[in-house]
Amino acid sequence: MTAVSTRPPLTIRMRAEDNVAIVANDGGLPEGTSLPEGVPGAGLVLRDKVPQGHKVALRDIAEGEVVLRYGVPIGYAVKPIPAGSWVHERLLQMPAARALEGLPIATVKPPVAEPLEGFTFEGYRNKDGSVGTRNILAITTTVQCVAGVVAQAVARIKAELLPRYRNVDDVIGLEHSYGCGVAIDAPDAVIPIRTLKNISLNPNFGGEVMVVSLGCEKLQPARLLPPGSFPITDERDPASGPETICLQDDVHVGFMSMLDDIVQSARPHLERLNARKRETVPASELVVGVQCGGSDAFSGVTANPAVGFCADLLVRAGATIMFSENTEVRDAVEQLTSRAATPEVADAIIRELGWYDRYLDRGRVDRSANTTPGNKAGGLSNIAEKAMGSIIKSGSSAISHVLAPGDKLRLDQRGLVYAATPASDFICGTLQLAAGMNLHIFTTGRGTPYGLAECPVVKVATRTDLARRWHDLMDVNAGRIADGEATIEETGWEMFHLLLDVASGRKKTWAEHWKLHNSLVLFNPAPVT
Ligand code: CA
């Protein structure tokens, strides 16, 4: 049980035209509470107990009348809702999805903000021009079959070799469930294949590509990394395929010979990685992926607006910031197409979201499948409401590029990018890694211990209650915004400085400290066999 708040009753309304506000107090507010002067709904007496983060009607809402939050319809009342009532999901009918036709195209021209100059971090510059924030040996795998062997080889490399290479942060196996038992020639199989390839080339791995293969799998090493499509860092012929340890090769007699071979092959890669040094680079080299998971009604009030402010700072500093989660932006598609920098960018948004609509159609679901029981318990009635709170973390800049799932950003693609991915936390994070993310921001209201081995994850709590309970898991407490102790701008700047510290290796995130790592989860819309 959460203790009932001792603070005065506090409600938060996002826009003046909204007819609902959310209750900010820890533990919610009991029936009969009267809302004090100075807060939205002042003078109203609550007709129900309203849980924290849930909505209260600020005036009488008639049956069929629109319920507005963020100034947009989040539903229609299925029966009359008197002022002071708890407005929960069973009282709302969800608005229809916006068709992908007749959308406003590149109509909003955000004012060009002054560039932010002089911000730097200490990063690892790669030969291809990208910059890493960590120095990691990542072993690519072509198929799930080799996962157990690679895990044991990684444990041995860490125990036997890593202590001698002080500049190398970690050794990881890029394990996944793909590679065999899949329809690899299906048109949509290009998505998991390019995702795996592009993750191998993530800037945090320094261009060192080393592959462990089984031998008989469908995803052959040369298909994953065709010659000429990736850097060769050793003496080999550039026309050869990737350096591969193939477990089924005749040279391997017994399990130990496989492990020995992988450990030996790792050595020259570690030598080269160890020779890398951090150097001062402009903040524009950051490629930040943003995501939210375990969202509640505060996500869109505290953490996501602060991330949005930080996103604008990053764009002003010349950096790249990527937002994603198709089902969470779909209901606000006109905001995306209108903020597209050019008609071509708007077309790409429509193309990606249209493809995703058809993908969901094939599975006979729609976007309403997105909201979780936890979202609803946290006060988010439906996906329309969740979308408005989610999209706010993209800030206010024009959208300059769009990526299809698994695609990698080119180095000249900077600014605000929409990377079209599913909203599933692990799938989205995996696809953002493939896009070239070197730093990750993750906001959460309900709480998640999410982390990635491949890249630092800065976690932002939406509520002080969560930040207090999860004090050694959350890196930023955006709940102070709802408590009236910090502004959105202050929290956004705090995040911006923290990102530079984490990118430089001066600070570790809590997920790094505890080594909390989620699996790579590929998005495979193609059939399995
Ligand atoms: Ca998510």
Instruction: Provide CB contacts within 8 A for 162, sequence distance 6+.
Output: 168, 170, 171, 270
Average of pLDDT values for 110-133?
Answer: 94
- For the cut 90, the answer to whether the pLDDT of residue 331 exceeds it is no
The larger pLDDT score, comparing residue 159 to residue 328, is at: 159
Whether the Cβ atoms of residue 386 and residue 328 lie closer than 8 Å to each other: yes
CATH of the domain at 255: 3.40.50
CB-based neighbours (< 5 A) of ligand 1, an ion: 293, 423, 425
Do 477 and 340 sit in the same domain of this protein? yes
Residues 222 and 331 in one domain: no
Q: Residue 26's pLDDT is what?
A: 85
Indicate the pLDDT class of residue 238, thresholds 50, 70 and 90: confident
Q: Under DSSP, is residue 210 helix (H, G, I), strand (E, B) or coil?
A: strand
Instruction: Judge contact between 478 and 461, C-beta under 8 A.
Output: yes
Cα angle 237, 192, 172; round to 5: 65
Residue with tokens 């950096």: 319
8 Å CB contact between 175 and 141: yes
Q: How far is the CA of 426 from the centre of ligand 1 (A)?
A: 8
Q: Are 461 and 477 in contact (CB under 8 A)?
A: yes
- What distance in angstroms lies between residue 392's CA and the mean position of ligand 1's atoms? 14
Rounded to an integer, the average pLDDT of 184-208 is: 97
Q: List C-alpha distances in Å: 203 to 125, 199, 246, 469, 517.
A: 9, 9, 25, 34, 18
Distance, in Å, from the CA atom of 481 to the CA atom of 110, rounded to the nearest integer, reads 25
Res. 96: pLDDT tops 80: no
Kindly tell me the burial class for residue 428, based on how many C-beta atoms sit within 10 Å of its own C-beta (0-12, 13-18, 19 or more). buried
**Residue 212: DSSP 8-state:** E
Output 470 or 328, whichever has higher pLDDT: 470
Q: What would the mean pLDDT of 492-497 be, rounded to a whole number?
A: 98
Q: Ligand 1 centroid to 71 CA: how many Å?
A: 23
Question: Does pLDDT of 440 surpass 90?
Answer: yes
Tell me the mean pLDDT in the region 327-355: 94
Q: Give the mean model confidence (pLDDT) for residues 136-156.
A: 98
In a domain, 279, yes or no: no
Q: Are residues 343 and 444 in the same domain?
A: yes
What is the CA(372)–ligand 1 centre distance, in A? Answer: 11
pLDDT at position 3 over 60: no
325-344 CB burial, b ≥16 within 10 A, e <16: bbbbbbbbbbbbbbbbbeee
Mean pLDDT of the region 441-456: 96
The 3-state secondary structure of 263-320 reads HHHHHHHHHHHHCCCCEEEEHHHCEEEEEECCCCCCCCCCHHHHHHHHHHHHHHCCCE
Task: Tell me how far apart the alpha carbons of residues 214 and 249 are, in angstroms, rounded to a whole number.
Answer: 9
In sequence order, the 6+-apart residues with CB closer than 8 A to the CB of 39 are: 9, 10, 11, 21
Model pLDDT for residues 292-303, shown as the tens digit of each residue? 988 888 889 999
- Mean pLDDT value of segment 215-224: 96
Residue 322 and residue 225 share a domain? no
Q: Are residues 177 and 307 in the same domain?
A: no
Instruction: Confirm whether 317 is domain-assigned.
Output: yes
Q: What is the pLDDT of residue 126?
A: 96
pLDDT at res. 388: 85
Strand partners, 287: 320
- 74 domain residue, yes or no: yes
Position 226 pLDDT exceeds 70 = yes
Residues 7 and 81 in one domain: yes
> How far does Cα 303 stand from its chain's mean position?
13
Q: What share of the chain is helix, strand, coil (3-state, %, to 5)?
A: 35, 20, 50
The span from the CA of 197 to the CA of 437, in Å, is 14
| pLDDT band with cut points at 50, 70 and 90 for residue 229 | confident
Picking from 80, 96, 112, the residue at the C-terminal end of a domain is: 96
* 59 located within any domain: yes
User: Does one domain contain both 310 and 217?
Assistant: no
**Centre of ligand 1 from the C-alpha of residue 253, in Å:** 45
Q: What is the pLDDT of residue 469?
A: 97
292 CA from centroid of ligand 1 (Å): 5
Task: Compute φ and ψ for 380, nearest 5 degrees.
Answer: -90, 115
Q: DSSP string covering 7-74, please? A: SPP-EE-SSTT-SEEEE-STT-B-TTPBPPTTSTTTT-B-SS-B-TT-EEESS-B-TT-EEEETTEEE
Q: How far is the CA of 448 from the centre of ligand 1 (A)?
A: 11
Segment 106-119 mean pLDDT = 90
Task: Judge whether 280 lies within some domain.
Answer: no
User: In total, how many domains does the chain have?
Assistant: 3
pLDDT of residue 235 exceeding 90: no
Low-confidence winner among 28-37, 70-79, 459-468, 493-502 (lowest mean pLDDT): 70-79
Same domain, yes or no: 199 and 146:
yes
Last residue of a domain, one of 96, 115, 149: 96
CA 95 / ligand 1 centre spacing (Å):
22
Taking all residues of the chain, what is their mean pLDDT, rounded to a whole number? 94
The 10s digit of each residue's pLDDT in 344-379 is 999 999 999 999 999 999 999 876 777 788 888 888
Residues 229 and 315 in one domain: no
Does 133 lie in the same domain as 40? no
Range with the poorest average pLDDT among 142-151, 288-297, 494-503, 511-520:
288-297
| Residue that has been written with the tokens 């539903």 in this structure | 75
* Of 81, 96, 111, the domain-final residue: 96
Tell me how far the alpha carbon of residue 407 lies from the centroid of ligand 1, in angstroms. 19
pLDDT at 502: 98
The edge-to-edge listing of strands for the beta sheet with 244-246 is 170-174, 136-141, 210-213, 244-246
The arithmetic mean of pLDDT across residues 99-103, rounded, is 92
In which domain, by residue range, is 89 found?
Answer: 1-96
- The answer as to whether 523 is a domain residue is no
CA of 283 to the centre of ligand 1 (A): 26
DSSP at 232: -
Using 50, 70 and 90 to split pLDDT, how confident is the model at 419? very high
Q: How far is the CA of 396 from the centre of ligand 1 (A)?
A: 20
79 and 219 share a domain? no
User: What's the gap in Å between 219 CA and the centre of ligand 1?
Assistant: 28
> Could you give the percent of the chain with pLDDT greater than 90?
81
Residue 1: pLDDT over 50? no
Shared-domain flag, residues 72 and 129: no
| Amino acid, res. 443 | T
Q: How far is the CA of 293 from the centre of ligand 1 (A)?
A: 4
Domain membership flag for residue 281: no
- Whole-angstrom CA distances from 191 to 207, 404, 407, 525 are 21, 9, 8, 8
Question: Is 236 within 8 Å of 211 (Cβ atoms)?
Answer: no
For ligand 1, the distance from its centroid to the CA atom of residue 421, given in whole angstroms, is: 10
Residue 188 Cα to ligand 1 midpoint, Å, equals 22
Stretch (H or E) spanning 121: strand 120-125
CB-based burial of residue 374 (10 Å sphere; 0-12 exposed, 13-18 middle, 19+ buried)? middle
Q: How far apart are the two ends of the chain, measured CA to CA in Å? A: 47
In the reported structure, the alpha carbon of residue 174 is separated from the centroid of ligand 1 by a whole-number distance in angstroms of 21
Whether residue 2 has pLDDT greater than 70: no
Q: Which two tokens stand for residue 112?
A: 């060009």
Residue 142 pLDDT > 70, yes or no?
yes
* Mean pLDDT (whole number) for 126-150: 97
Greatest alpha-carbon pair distance for the chain in Å reads 81
Q: What is the rounded average pLDDT of the residues 38-52?
A: 94
Question: Is residue 49 pLDDT above 90, yes or no?
Answer: yes
* Cα separation, 508 vs 501, whole angstroms: 8
466 CA → ligand 1 middle, Å: 18
Exposed e or buried b for every residue in 453-477, given b needs 16+ CB within 10 A? bbbbbbbbbbbbbbbeebeebbbbb
273 CA from centroid of ligand 1 (Å): 32
- pLDDT (0 to 100) of residue 110: 84
* Closest-CA residue to 376 (of 4, 368, 306): 368
**What does the pLDDT read at residue 111?**
81
Tokens of 276: 């890398």
Q: How far is the CA of 390 from the centre of ligand 1 (A)?
A: 9
Please check whether residue 519 lies inside any domain of the structure.
no
Q: At 37, which CATH number?
A: 2.30.130.110
